[in-house]
């Protein structure tokens, strides 16, 4: 059964999302050799975003890529901002709150099963942990890949998503710092620029346009990605557009030319070439 973008436990206090839920997770959790991924994605929190739960059905890893907020895990409250990660499980009460002035953009991934429990224990990412990650840009790139693989689906999509998530968790464990560690100002600017791409990719036609909105030059925008990222800003923008296109093309009434226009492509032919180069197959629509 393919991934969907709806689940009962997903928050509605968001202004934009890229999320997935894997309905067949119960069948897979019996396999102790692989990570049983249930759902996840990226959420652009509304200013009044707050989640207050005494219980949660899965093991959870969350990573803040932009903005500020706070998280209370088992009665201990921590301020969080870009670069912070936190972990909770089925028995950890949690209150996650976004700043109204600087709403968070955060990634979340939920998993279960023996492999998940053992992995988090091996990495010392115990429930209730809050940490700052020094190599946050690479973590963000990997988490984006997890979403891409899960949404793309196919024979190896889920395997790739689970393997990439394990890679991201290993990187977090390897580059962890105290949650109180401070962030490099240039890195904060990079996160702001990347966040702009993530929020506005459907309407962005060029990196110059994105750079202007972020009050930096296109050259500096590109240098920030060269310093802190594993892909160029243009590659990031293209991947985000085409990942969204893949979702839209699954709709029964989708038209290739309509999806191309919605995502800012000048022609269906240009869009089709880009989509085939990215996915390995031609787009299919009504």
pTM of the model: 0.68
User: Encoding tokens for residue 123?
Assistant: 């990495």
CATH superfamily of 185-279: Homeodomain-like (1.10.10.60)
Count Cα neighbours of 51 within 13 Å in the Cβ-side half-sphere: 24
Mean confidence (pLDDT) of the chain? 90
Backbone angle region of 142, left / alpha / beta, with phi > 0 → left and psi within -120 to 50 → alpha = alpha
Of 32-36, 88-92, 221-225, 231-235, the one with minimum mean pLDDT is 32-36
Of 118-132, 172-186, 242-256, the one with minimum mean pLDDT is 172-186
pLDDT surpassing 60 at residue 285:
no
Pairwise CA distance, residues 167 & 142, whole Å: 8
Residue range 14-177, CATH number: 2.60.120.280
pLDDT, residue 1, reads 65
Pairing relationship of beta strands 36-45 and 50-53 according to DSSP bridges: unpaired
Which residue is listed with tokens 């972020």? 214
Model pLDDT for residues 93-127, shown as the tens digit of each residue = 999 999 999 999 999 999 999 999 999 999 999 99
Burial of 28 (0-12, 13-18, 19+ CB in 10 A): middle
Q: What is the mean pLDDT of residues 39-54?
A: 95
pLDDT surpassing 80 at residue 147:
yes
Pairwise CA distance, residues 20 & 149, whole Å: 10
Model pLDDT for residues 189-230, shown as the tens digit of each residue = 888 898 888 888 988 989 999 999 999 999 999 999 998 888
pLDDT, residue 279, reads 84
Domain range list for the chain: 14-177, 185-279
Neighbouring residues of 119: CB distance < 8 A, sequence distance ≥ 6: 35, 166, 169
State the CB neighbour count (10 A cutoff) for residue 178. Answer: 8
């Amino acid at each position: 059964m393919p991934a969907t973008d709806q689940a009962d436990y997903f928050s509605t206090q968001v202004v934009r999302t890229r999320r997935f839920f894997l309905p067949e997770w119960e069948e897979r959790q019996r396999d102790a050799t692989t990570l049983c991924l249930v759902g996840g994605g990226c959420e652009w929190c509304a200013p009044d975003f707050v989640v207050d739960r005494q219980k949660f059905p899965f093991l959870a890893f969350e990573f803040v890529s932009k903005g500020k907020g706070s998280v209370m895990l088992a009665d201990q409250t921590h301020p969080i901002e870009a670069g912070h990660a936190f972990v909770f499980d089925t028995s950890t009460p949690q209150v996650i709150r976004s700043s109204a002035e600087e709403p968070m953009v955060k990634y979340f991934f939920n998993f279960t099963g023996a492999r998940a429990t053992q992995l988090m224990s091996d990495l010392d990412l115990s429930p209730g942990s809050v940490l700052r990650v020094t190599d946050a840009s690479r973590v963000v790139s990997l988490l984006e890949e997890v979403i891409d693989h899960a949404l793309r689906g196919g024979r190896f999509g889920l395997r790739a998503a689970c393997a990439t998530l394990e890679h991201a968790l290993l990187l977090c464990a390897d580059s962890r710092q105290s949650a109180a560690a401070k962030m490099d100002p240039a890195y904060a600017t990079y996160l702001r620029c990347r966040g702009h791409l993530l929020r506005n990719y459907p309407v962005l036609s060029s990196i110059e346009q994105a750079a202007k909105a972020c009050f930096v030059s296109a050259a500096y925008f590109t240098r920030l990605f060269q310093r802190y990222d594993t892909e160029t800003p243009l590659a990031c923008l293209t991947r985000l557009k085409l990942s969204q296109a893949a979702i839209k093309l699954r709709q029964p009434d989708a038209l290739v030319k309509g999806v191309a226009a919605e995502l800012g492509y000048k022609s269906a032919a240009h869009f089709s070439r880009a989509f085939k180069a990215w996915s390995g197959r031609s787009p299919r629509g009504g």
